[in-house]
Amino acid sequence: MKCLILSKDQNNTFLKNFLIKSNFEVEEANMIFDSENIVRDLLCSSDFQVIIIDRLGEEILKFKSDFLTSKDYFMIINDSSDLDYLVDLNDEFTFRFYFWPLNYNLILDDIKALSRVKSYMEFRNIYIKGVEFNLNKRVLKNKDKEILLKNKEFELLLYLVNNKGRVVSKTNILENVWDMNASIMTNTVDVHLSKLRKIFKVYFDKDSLIQTIPCVGYVLT
């Protein structure tokens, strides 16, 4: 996976090196030293799956039209809680927000998670028994209700959608959704499946969409 770091300073050495050591390709663009045309060309390219925007504030809006031609995901690193300038873009893309000091492992985990949904960006709306699953907004909705999914709820449901009609084991889910070794003793899969089942039943009156196959795994019907 290839990442672009867009910033206006040179404080990204640790983040860049961390990502490189984690087997990511990383390229940088600097708002001070690089021309706007260089930045624009990079944003308009299809080479990057994730774009990390580091403390650019409202300056980033000058590239809004370039973002709108892209299908990439954006990770925002900011040292301010004032993010109102991103409201217009927030309906178009999936964002992650981070604040200094950075948790590099968290960023790495989120990039891996984003890579799992990258191939679905052209399908902004998937329907599960009449319930809309909006991948950009990470919500389940119908004409009356809209429920925002938490990160792992979203990723788990997306994995089940990708394997619709096929039985997936707890091992498969742990390795593909949590990046965890299946030998680790945890009930996190059952807990999150229970939450998804409750959301479908309580808010959308849809029962038995996610079935348990005893001693085998789970299937989205």
CATH of 123-220, one of 3.40.50.150, 3.40.50.2000, 3.90.1010.10, 1.10.10.10: 1.10.10.10
* Residue 132, both tokens: 């809309």
- In this structure, are residues 211 and 221 in contact, taking their beta carbons and an 8 Å threshold? yes
Q: Is the dihedral of CA 132, 134, 138, 139 positive or negative?
A: negative
Q: How far is the C-alpha of 216 from the C-alpha of 122, rounded, in Å?
A: 32
Q: Could you tell me the residue ranges of all domains in the chain? A: 2-118, 123-220
Confidence at 212, pLDDT banded by 50, 70, 90: very high
CATH number of 2-118: 3.40.50.2300
Of the ranges 67-71, 100-104, 157-161, which one carries the lowest mean pLDDT score? 67-71
pTM of the model: 0.54
Q: How far is the C-alpha of 107 from the C-alpha of 161, rounded, in Å?
A: 25
pLDDT tens digits for range 148-184: 998 889 889 988 988 889 999 998 888 888 766 555 5
End-to-end CA distance of the chain: 32
The confidence score (pLDDT) of residue 105 equals 82
Work out the average pLDDT over 106-125: 65
Task: Name, in order, each residue with C-beta under 8 angstroms of 71's C-beta and a sequence gap of 6 or more.
Answer: 121, 122
Phi, psi of 32 (to 5 degrees): -90, -45
pLDDT tens digits for range 24-54: 888 888 777 777 777 777 777 667 777 777 7
> Is residue 82 classed exposed, middle or buried when 0-12, 13-18 and 19+ CB atoms within 10 A define those classes?
exposed
Mean pLDDT across the chain, nearest whole number?
76
Of the ranges 76-80, 146-150, 158-162, 188-192, which one carries the lowest mean pLDDT score? 76-80
